[in-house]
């Protein structure tokens, strides 16, 4: 009976995820179709300078995210060179389009292992990446949402963001994070976390801020992207960038949607229509997704041509056995 209940719970949850994603995609598609005449009338060929700047900002954001990932791995005891880390990062990045984010997590752990990183160290690095990305991303998204929804900048509008940032700062405190990670390591049978294997408070804050900076770079990309395709002034472009950050982070947190597909686009349309016609908002939401997927495929192709992968080495000051715990 218990097995049957679990089976039906999984069936219901899977169906709910499919319905939510399908509903979000239907909403965006419906808006685009209904307003397509307005989009066609107002659309123009992209301005070369903003388009090139948006492309550069998008690729720079992915490279920054890649470098942060390597830095996290180095801080838990193992060092991968730039070339050696390309495939684990950009191959598994495409795994975001599998619901649940398990393909990203398990794929990266597996590829780290193939390069000589012990499984527990690999799992710890990947766990840190996801935690710090969520903390830094949500803090920036709260700030962006507060400003967008209030219609103007004010310290009062940023109060919810400040409260959220404090709450997440507590979450990444070593005294809170260590028991959670130790419990996860035991549950997944990776092993026991040894003394001195976790990051300190200063490093945790630094990585959360690094991911917050990455989210800001996404906002810069979309502000330039919007300016390339539709007529917007600087103020609207900046608000569009903030809307994109908020939508992207919510899509990241919504693990049931593959890479936030549908969720990100739906929220982006809702936020953008405060500043531009809804048809243009839907066009930008879909076009930015296409641009992001194209960039990820290009970077995965570059990773594929990177050549032989050198193995990981223990970071300076750590023994090779330290990662085995």
Residue 256 predicted with pLDDT over 90: no
Q: What is the mean pLDDT of the chain?
A: 75
At 85, the pLDDT band (50, 70, 90 cuts) reads: confident
Region 195-204 average pLDDT? 72
pLDDT of residue 66: 94
Q: Is the pLDDT of residue 84 over 70?
A: yes
Q: Is the pLDDT of residue 316 over 70?
A: no
- What is the band of 318 on the pLDDT scale with cuts at 50, 70, 90? very low
Query: CB 95: neighbour CB atoms within 10 A?
Result: 18
Euclidean distance between CA atoms 20 and 29, whole angstroms? 14
- In this predicted structure, what is the pLDDT of residue 224? 94
As a whole number of angstroms, the distance between CA 266 and CA 20 comes to: 11
Mean pLDDT of all residues in 52-63: 94
Give the DSSP H or E segment for 247.
Answer: helix 234-253
- Of 62-76, 209-223, 238-252, give the lowest mean pLDDT range: 238-252
Residue 251 contacts residue 263 (beta carbons within 8 Å): yes
Tell me how far apart the alpha carbons of residues 217 and 60 are, in angstroms, rounded to a whole number: 8
- In this predicted model, which residue has the larger pLDDT, 92 or 58? 58
Tell whether the torsion through CA atoms of 299, 97, 292 and 57 is positive or negative.
negative
Cα(74)–Cα(161) distance, integer angstroms: 31
Q: Which of 48-52, 132-136, 142-146 has the lowest mean pLDDT?
A: 142-146
> How is the chain split into domains, by residue range?
2-324
The answer on pLDDT for 280 being more than 80 is: yes
Which range has highest mean pLDDT (26-35, 74-83, 245-254)?
Answer: 74-83
pLDDT, residue 211, reads 87
pLDDT digits (tens, 9 = 90+) for 161-176: 666 666 666 777 777 7
pLDDT of 8 higher than 70? no
Of 64 and 176, the one with more pLDDT:
64
Say what the pLDDT of residue 52 is. 94
pLDDT at residue 26, as a whole number: 57
Give the per-residue pLDDT at 261: 65
Mean pLDDT of 299-317: 72
Using a pLDDT cut of 70, give the percent of the chain over it: 63
Query: Two tokens at 151?
Result: 């219609």
């Amino acid at each position: 009976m218990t097995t049957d209940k679990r089976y039906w719970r999984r069936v219901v949850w899977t169906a709910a995820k499919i319905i939510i994603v399908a509903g979000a995609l239907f909403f965006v598609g419906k808006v685009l179709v209904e307003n397509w005449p307005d989009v066609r009338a107002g659309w123009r060929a992209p301005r070369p300078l903003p388009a090139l700047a948006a492309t550069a900002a998008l690729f720079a954001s992915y490279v920054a995210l890649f470098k942060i990932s390597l830095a996290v791995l180095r801080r838990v005891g193992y060092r991968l060179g730039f070339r050696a880390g390309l495939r684990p990062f950009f191959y598994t990045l495409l795994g975001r389009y599998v619901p649940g984010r398990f393909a990203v997590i398990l794929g990266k752990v597996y590829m780290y292992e193939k390069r000589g990183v012990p499984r527990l160290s690999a799992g710890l690095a990947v766990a840190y990446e996801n935690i710090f990305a969520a903390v830094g991303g949500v803090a920036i998204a709260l700030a962006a949402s507060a400003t967008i929804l209030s219609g103007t900048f004010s310290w009062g509008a940023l109060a919810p963001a400040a409260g959220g940032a404090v709450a997440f700062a507590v979450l990444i405190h070593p005294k809170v994070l260590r028991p959670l990670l130790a419990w996860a390591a035991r549950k997944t049978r990776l092993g026991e976390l040894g003394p001195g294997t976790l990051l300190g408070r200063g490093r945790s804050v630094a990585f959360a801020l690094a991911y917050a900076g990455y989210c800001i770079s996404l906002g810069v990309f979309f502000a330039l992207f919007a300016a390339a395709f539709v007529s917007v002034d600087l103020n609207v472009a900046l608000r569009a960038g903030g809307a994109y950050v908020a939508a992207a982070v919510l899509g990241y947190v919504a693990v049931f949607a593959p890479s936030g597909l549908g969720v990100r686009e739906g929220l982006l349309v809702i936020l953008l229509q405060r500043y531009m016609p809804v048809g243009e908002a839907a066009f930008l939401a879909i076009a930015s997704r296409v641009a992001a997927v194209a960039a990820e495929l290009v970077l995965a192709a570059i990773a594929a041509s990177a050549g032989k992968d050198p193995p990981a080495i223990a970071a300076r000051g750590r023994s090779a056995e330290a990662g085995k715990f």
